[in-house]
Every structure is written in C-alpha cells, then in structure tokens.
Structure 1
C-alpha cells in the first residue's frame, strides 16, 4: 500500500518570496529522493486557474466580500479534489503556494469576514484534510510591497492599502503562534541565502520525522 504523501503549504503577504522558496523545498525533497509536485492557490488546475484570473484582475466593479470568499473556495474545491488529493494518495509530497490559511488571512483578517464563516466552508470543501506543515514567510509589509512593486504591474489584491496587509500579516502570525507544531515562521526579510537555508532545514526536518 502506498504511503500518503505530505502536504506542505507556503504562506505570507505579498513579496515575501514564496515562489522562490517553493523551488528550494522542491530541490531539497528531490535531493532526498522524494517525489513532489509544486502547485498554487488560487489555481493549480485549468478551471481553478480561470477562477484565479477572475479574482486577481483589477476591475471597476466592486467585488463583494462573499463573492470573493466563495470564488476562493470554488477554486480550492476543484484543485483539492482533482489534483491535491490524487497526488497525496499516490505518495507524492505536495508543495502549495497558499491554501486555506491565506483565506483566513486575506478574506478574514484583510476583508473582515467572520472566521466561523470561513471555517464552515473549510469543513465543507476539505473535510478533515489540513496541511501537514505550514511555512509562513514573514517580513514587514513595506519590505514585501517594495519587492512586489519591483515585479511589475500589481494585481487587484496587491493594489490594496498598507493597512490591509498589516491585518493579513497579523492574522498569519496569530494563527502560527496558536499552533507552533504545525506552523513554522521563517524571517523572510533577511538575505536570500539565509531564508533559503532555513526553508531547506525545515524540509529536511519534516522528512526526518515523517512516518
């Protein structure tokens, strides 16, 4: 019987280097002989990517907070049930750029959606599936936004005010402090080599304790 793979998510505000550190994690796992896949949210399948485009595109029409929340979970349901669970059941480790912690942070902390509403959708869509490890890349908001602006044109979320991202960061840190076994905070404001070394060590530790 194939052993289930591990599910590792990378979280954080804009510009903290999630994409870069997902590559670090994948390289580390591959060097240890572990088969893995890298994906992202919202997105990860053709249909979920189409929903991502709807969510991120700047638009004149105001987006209702409930619309945004339901679209996030619609993309997640498709991603989870057509890709993530299949990969995990095949024994592959799944590395995901954001998952439901991002919804608690962005739609909960950022938009002010009640956490019990998010939790109800989390249970509906995911059942009891949760990430095995959440790596939170943390940096001051201004640091991250400066990096994000250097990447090019900002999407609908990246155009929000600094206070929006301060609430998001605070939500991430609060969730991580409430469950320090499952969450690992990495200081992403440092030089890239230091961040990369910490992420690689997180992954090696997780492999060493996997059963």
Structure 2
C-alpha cells in the first residue's frame, strides 16, 4: 500500500503517459482494491464529514441530480451508467490515441448541438447536427483504427490530465439547483475521484477505472440508502 501511494503521489506531481498494465497483469486486482480503499478512506473519513459541516454552516442546498430518477433506476444509473459514461468521456482518451481523441471531439460537438436544442437556438439544424454526429463519430472511429498517438499529446499530457480532472469536478456543480462560489468546495469529492481514477486509468486501464468508479459509487449510494 505504501509503495502504491508513493507511486500515485509521484505521478500526480509529474503526470505522464503510461502503458496500462491491464486487468490480467500480476497484482492488478490487488492494486485496484488498494486504490478503491484509498479513494473511499479519504472520501468517507475526510472529505464528506468536512463538507457536511461546510454545507450546514453556509446553508447550501443539497444536490438534486437524482431527484428525477426513480428509485428503481437510481442504483443502475449511479453504479453502471454513470461510471462507464464518465470514464469514457473524461479519461478514455488519456492514452492519446487518434480515434479516442476523435470520439471525445465528436462528443463535445454533439453536446454543443444538444445545448442548442435545449435552449431553443436553431433547434432543427442542431437536431440534424446531433444525428449527424451519431453517424460521423463511429465512422471516423473505424476509419482511424490502427492510428497512433496524436502528435504532441505526450508533451501536453500534464496540462490535459489536470484539465480533465478540473472539468470533471466542476461539471458536478450542475447537480445543484443554483450556483454560488460557496458551492465550489462541494465538488472536492469529484476532484479527488478525478485524481484517483486518472491514475488508475493510466496505471491499469479504462476498465480498471470503471470498476473502481462503480464500486465507489455503489458503496457510497448504499450507505446513503441505509442511512435513509
């Protein structure tokens, strides 16, 4: 555990591209369990208690992201859908492969079109744009198979990984009904998750990051449901 923690902190100090070992590598399963343990220890024993006091002291609202999700769908959404979608969007492309970066770019464009539809800005063209990206994205992914890493990606990697962590955390501000500067500390759990999951993704692989993400979400939502 000590060796893993030192490797984790050294990687955070100087983020660099790694060749993921994969789940079948010796010790990969134990490393996943240790990363999950580290993630949950800091989350449950440090961050959540402190943020609970901050929320109460500042009179901040509770997140409302799951208020529209039925209880029957809550666990599948939090434990399955969210970890897979978020890992692909925020960390799936960290290997720098051309087609992975292509898919992320297509996702950003599609999200822009969806925002236009949501805010009723050129809704019809934007709707066709979403449909078009749904066709262009997989076609480009197939055409770009076998391509290597995007030129210059390794040099830009430290900035890109920290940017992905920051955006991942800040995106969770949308869980709250209104924004205020006082809410920024409330996404520290997601910032911490971004740190642990980015390292797991680069050290073991995207499936490993999904597994840690899903397990952490499952344990957290389980504790919430048990406590009422």
Q: Could you state the TM-score of these two structures normalised by the residue count of structure 2?
A: 0.27
Which structure: larger Rg?
2
Please identify which structure carries the higher helix content. Answer: 2
Please identify which structure carries the higher strand content. Answer: 1
